[in-house]
Amino acid sequence: MQSSLRLFSLLVVLAALAAQLAGQADPEKAIDDLISTYAKAGHFSGVVVAAKDGKVIFEKAYGQASAEHGVPNSARTRFLIASITKPMTAVVLIRAIEAGKIKLDDKLSKYVPDFPRGDEITVEMLSRHTSGLPHRVTTPSEEAEPSSPAMMVERAKKAKLEFDPGTGNLYSSTGYAVLARVLEIALGKSFPEFLEEHVFRPAGLEDSMDFRSGAVIERRAEDYLLEGDHWTTTPLVDYSFLAGAGSVFATASDVYTFGKAMADGKFGELASANFVRNGVFASNGSTSGWRANVRIDMNRGFGYALVSNLGSGANDVIIRALPDLITGRQVERTPVPQPAVDRKVKNDLSDYAGRYTLGNSGFEILVRNGELYAGAYKLLPLGRDRFYSFWSYAEISFERGEDGKVKGLKWSGSGGDSDWVRR
């Protein structure tokens, strides 16, 4: 009897182990199955790289690099990686500090003497988003024209600070553009030159380059926005205005390699101390139709990079699922969203226009050509005071006060709910 019980217990253990191994047997297939669901629905376009225990186990391209010309994405397609540029700029800053070319407590006025309140803003404040400079200081028309770090400094001079330097925190691409100019002055080289010297070459990034106005970027994708059952083009942008902040084009493989170099300490101990937290390096970026995300988790033994040229909430779904898929865990599948967009709904769009804030964060609700936008992203009507954003797979519900006027909005997406106040 005891022998039978032992045999039965052993069989139960073996069955459980077999089930576990079956779930972990083919993470590559699980990753592809999930991404293909969204790609086939027209909700994802880009390239994903995934690695387990430092070895790349998956790399695949989906969608179109150029929808107009029918050019598919490939593993060698270059994408704008937006704010993943910022840690690259920070690596250059750290190398300059180590070389004695610059100090964190240097005043901005040391490099740009006539910058308003430049004697209160330090290099460290620029790098840590505490300078008070706004996130953006450019108009859409200026963002379509060639620019440079020097030109961005001149625009930043005219901007009103959001708070006294060093007294708050506000994510600022302008601050990093100004930092890029400070580094140019301190190092005596252009931003693309020192990026190549201190980041691209040391990490072995062979398919990365900084945007240069008028230059041909071979194998470059175009970016698009998802609008229900079709894609739309994005406004013309010259990404030179984002130098230092979001101007690098790269392949998914290079983005993964950069993340791995950061996690492995290839840029030195100071860079690791600033960017690797508890064994994890993570960075992301988005602008227009571009999305980019990289994460290297040395504790759990996985890494991935996602680059996309389609502004869609599918990017977030895939990014959230990748850690579990790579490590063989089950992921709950959710259907591709099919919201009941109703363009016949009559909302007075002017009721919603204005600035909405949550803490130090904020964005504009705008009316353009008879349609509603959250920043650059169109909101499609679902009903009275209700809209949908395909860019983030979110429902936006405007809330009215007793006087009938809009006082705020609730943003409800797969990442949770947030309440924003109208200013």
Residue count of the chain:
423
Q: Over the stretch 2-22, which tens digit does the pLDDT of each residue have?
A: 444 343 343 433 344 344 434
**Inside any domain, residue 28:** no
300 CB neighbour count, 10 Å cutoff: 15
Residue with tokens 């840029």: 267
Going by DSSP bridges, is the β-strand pair 310-311/224-227 parallel, antiparallel, or unpaired? parallel
pLDDT in tens, 148-161: 999 999 999 999 99
Q: Are residues 367 and 290 in the same domain?
A: no
375 located within any domain: yes
State the average pLDDT for the chain: 93
For residue 414, name the pLDDT band (cuts at 50, 70, 90).
confident
Contact (CB, 8 A) for 334 and 317 = yes
Tokens of 145: 């024209």
Q: Per the domain annotation, does 27 fall within a domain?
A: no
> Over 90: is that where the pLDDT of 289 sits?
yes
Tens digit of pLDDT for each residue in 194-210? Answer: 999 999 999 999 999 99
Domain residues for the domain of 415 are: 349-422
Tens-digit pLDDT profile for residues 76-89? 999 999 999 999 99
Judge if 289 and 361 occupy the same domain: no
320 Cβ neighbours under 8 A, 6+ residues apart: 414
Render pLDDT for 246-268 as a digit per residue (tens, 0 to 9).
999 999 999 999 999 999 999 99
Average pLDDT (71-98) is: 98
What span, in angstroms and rounded, lies between the C-alpha atoms of 365 and 350? 10
- DSSP, residue by residue, 304-339: EEEEESEE-THHHHHHHHHHHHHTT------PPP--
- Is 139 buried (19+), middle (13-18) or exposed (0-12) by CB count in 10 A? exposed
| Residue 361 confidence class, pLDDT cut points 50, 70, 90 | confident
Chain centroid to CA 406: how far? 30
In a domain, 53, yes or no: no
Which residue bears the tokens 């008028």?
Answer: 214
Residue at 91 is within a domain: yes
Which one of 273, 293, 326 terminates a domain?
A: 326
Domain C-terminal end among 311, 326, 341: 326
Angle at 20 between CA 16 and CA 26, to 5 degrees: 150
> Rounded CA gap, 88 and 248, in Å?
9
Q: Is 139 in the same domain as 277?
A: yes
Q: Do the domain assignments include residue 341?
A: no
Number of continuous H segments (helices) and E segments (strands) in the chain: 11, 21
Q: Give the pLDDT confidence score for residue 15 in this predicted structure.
A: 42
Q: Which of 314, 289, 317, 307 is nearest to 375 (CA)?
A: 289
Shared domain for 309 and 273, answered yes or no, is: yes
Q: Pick the closest to residue 96 from 204, 179, 154 (CA basis).
A: 179
Domain shared by 362 and 276, yes or no? no
Helix (H) or strand (E) holding 259: helix 252-264
How far is Cα 276 from Cα 260, in angstroms, rounded to an integer? 11
User: Is pLDDT of 43 > 50?
Assistant: yes
What pLDDT band is residue 25 in, cutting at 50, 70 and 90? Answer: low
- For residue range 379-402, list pLDDT tens digits in order: 999 999 999 999 999 999 999 999
At residue 111, the 3 state secondary structure works out as coil
Give yes or no: residues 212 and 358 share one domain.
no
- Residue reference for tokens 């693309």: 192
209 and 90 both lie in a single domain = yes
Residue 409, in any domain of the structure: yes
| 123/163 same-domain check | yes
* Phi, psi (degrees; rounded to nearest 5) at 81: -100, 5
pLDDT of residue 360: 78
Same domain, 116 and 190: yes
CATH code assigned at 379: 2.40.128.50
Least confident of 47-61, 281-295, 331-345: 331-345
357-386 average pLDDT score: 93
One domain, residues 292 and 376: no
Beta carbons within 8 Å of 37's beta carbon, 6+ residues apart: 333, 336
Q: Do residues 390 and 314 both lie within one domain?
A: no
Which residue type does 256 have? Answer: Y
Q: Is the pTM above the cut of 0.95?
A: no
Question: Do 127 and 264 reside in the same domain of the chain?
Answer: yes
Percent helix, strand and coil across the chain, each to the nearest 5: 35, 25, 40
From its phi and psi, is residue 82 left (phi > 0), alpha (psi between -120 and 50) or beta? left
Cβ within 8 Å of residue 213, ≥6 positions away: 146, 147, 238, 240
Average pLDDT over residues 316-336: 95
CATH assignment at residue 247: 3.40.710.10
Q: Is residue 64 part of a domain?
A: no
Question: Which has more pLDDT, 4 or 173?
Answer: 173
Average pLDDT over residues 27-56: 97
Q: What is the pLDDT of residue 415?
A: 75
The helix or strand, by DSSP H or E, that contains position 255, with its residue range, turns out to be helix 252-264
How many structural domains does the chain have? 2
Residue 81's closest CA among 179, 173, 184, 210? 210
CA distance 79 to 316: 17
